[in-house]
Amino acid sequence: MKIVVTGALGHIGSRLIRELPRLLPGAEIVMVDDLSTQRYASLFHLPPKGRYRFIEADILKADLGPLLKGADWVVHLAAVTDAEASFDLRQRVEEVNFGGTERVAMACLESRSALIFPSTTSVYGSQNENVDEDCALEDLKPQSPYAESKLKAEQMLSKLGRSHGLRHVICRFGTVFGAAAGMRFHTAVNKFCWQAVMGQPITVWRTALNQQRPYLDLEDAVRAVVFLMKKKIYDGKIYNVVTTNTTVGDIVKMISYFVPDLQIKYVDTRIMNQLSYHVSNARFKQLGFVFRGNLKKEISETLRWLKGAAAKKGKA
């Protein structure tokens, strides 16, 4: 089996490429990344049994045909993912998240590769307390250019599936949490852990403390991708991939269990969805997938990863 992973050195990708040799022994793993975020360390200490090949390439410029030739699966993780910063990067977000996905999809059609596209539960903005993949179009109210670009890419892939037979599956991931070599700290749980360890106040969006939102354990994210490959699921459907729904207030309580002197600072943001909603993962579970993630456990692990830096902060 040949698997191409774009954005392979990012938060999800850096964990996925390490798990693939164990979960899919013998697979050829082609890692594609443009190194724009300079996460070279994601290539350090890869499992010795992995059949790896790294290619530095920009999906907007590269000839994708040779990269995808012979690929059974393409996991398209390459994206601009910082939702809050995306307001200042609208054109870049549109180019990468939509235009780049379109280029990858067309290359998949040429190579007959099946495409796994991680979208986001940020496309929801429902008036309803509970939402699922069958929610009405008016309940899809992306709150940032990042989420808008992902929803637009979803619609483009669905159209290519109907018109050209693109084999694909769309996964609306909850906000990912969990430690990885290529992790960043702009999303809720990871950012809060960083701030807590560094003795900084946790910066909470003023409207968000008691709003319920979907979250995804990184281990579940990786297992979900491999599950789709093993089951050969490329049915063109949309699946919510969510470990748990919880509030920022509950996350803060979990972190304060490990960092008792935690402080909170409320801040304004351009992402000001006043609504609270629960995203159902029932459709994905009906395929036979079992979510195993544990938010408190992963918070503890992330804090442990950062512990050494906390012990040294302030020292020359």
Q: Return the CATH number at 103.
A: 3.40.50.720
Q: Which of 100-109, 225-234, 247-256 has the lowest mean pLDDT?
A: 247-256
Evaluate whether residue 61 is within a structural domain.
Answer: yes
62 or 270, greater pLDDT: 62
Evaluate whether residue 80 is within a structural domain.
Answer: yes
Q: Which pLDDT belongs to residue 274?
A: 53
pLDDT confidence tier of residue 83, bands split at 50, 70 and 90:
low
pLDDT for residue 89 is more than 90 = no
Evaluate whether residue 45 is within a structural domain.
Answer: yes
Evaluate whether residue 208 is within a structural domain.
Answer: no
pLDDT confidence tier of residue 296, bands split at 50, 70 and 90:
very high
- Tally of CB atoms within 10 A around 239: 24
Evaluate whether residue 312 is within a structural domain.
Answer: no
Evaluate whether residue 192 is within a structural domain.
Answer: no
pLDDT confidence tier of residue 42, bands split at 50, 70 and 90:
very high
Evaluate whether residue 234 is within a structural domain.
Answer: yes
> Taken in order 217, 12, 237, 224, is the CA torsion positive or negative?
negative
Q: Which pLDDT belongs to residue 161?
A: 97
Burial of 195 (0-12, 13-18, 19+ CB in 10 A): buried
Q: Which pLDDT belongs to residue 193?
A: 92
Q: Which pLDDT belongs to residue 309?
A: 67
Q: Which pLDDT belongs to residue 144?
A: 84
Q: Which pLDDT belongs to residue 239?
A: 98
pLDDT for residue 266 is more than 90 = no
- Domain extent for 165: 2-175+215-241
Mean pLDDT, rounded, of the chain: 90
For 110-167, how does the pLDDT look when each residue is reduced to its tens digit (9 = 90+)? 999 999 999 999 898 755 678 999 988 877 888 888 889 999 999 999 999 999 999 9
Provide the percentage of residues in the chain whose pLDDT is more than 90. Answer: 69
Cα radius of gyration (the chain): 19
Q: Which pLDDT belongs to residue 185?
A: 86
Q: Which pLDDT belongs to residue 271?
A: 56
pLDDT confidence tier of residue 316, bands split at 50, 70 and 90:
very low
Distance CA(146)–CA(176), nearest Å, equals 15
Domain count, the chain: 1
List helix spans (H) across the chain. Answer: 11-23, 64-68, 90-93, 101-111, 145-164, 188-197, 218-231, 248-258, 282-286, 295-312
For 100-116, how does the pLDDT look when each residue is reduced to its tens digit (9 = 90+)? 999 999 999 999 999 99
pLDDT confidence tier of residue 315, bands split at 50, 70 and 90:
very low
Q: Which pLDDT belongs to residue 310?
A: 62
Distance CA(151)–CA(293), nearest Å, equals 26
Evaluate whether residue 236 is within a structural domain.
Answer: yes
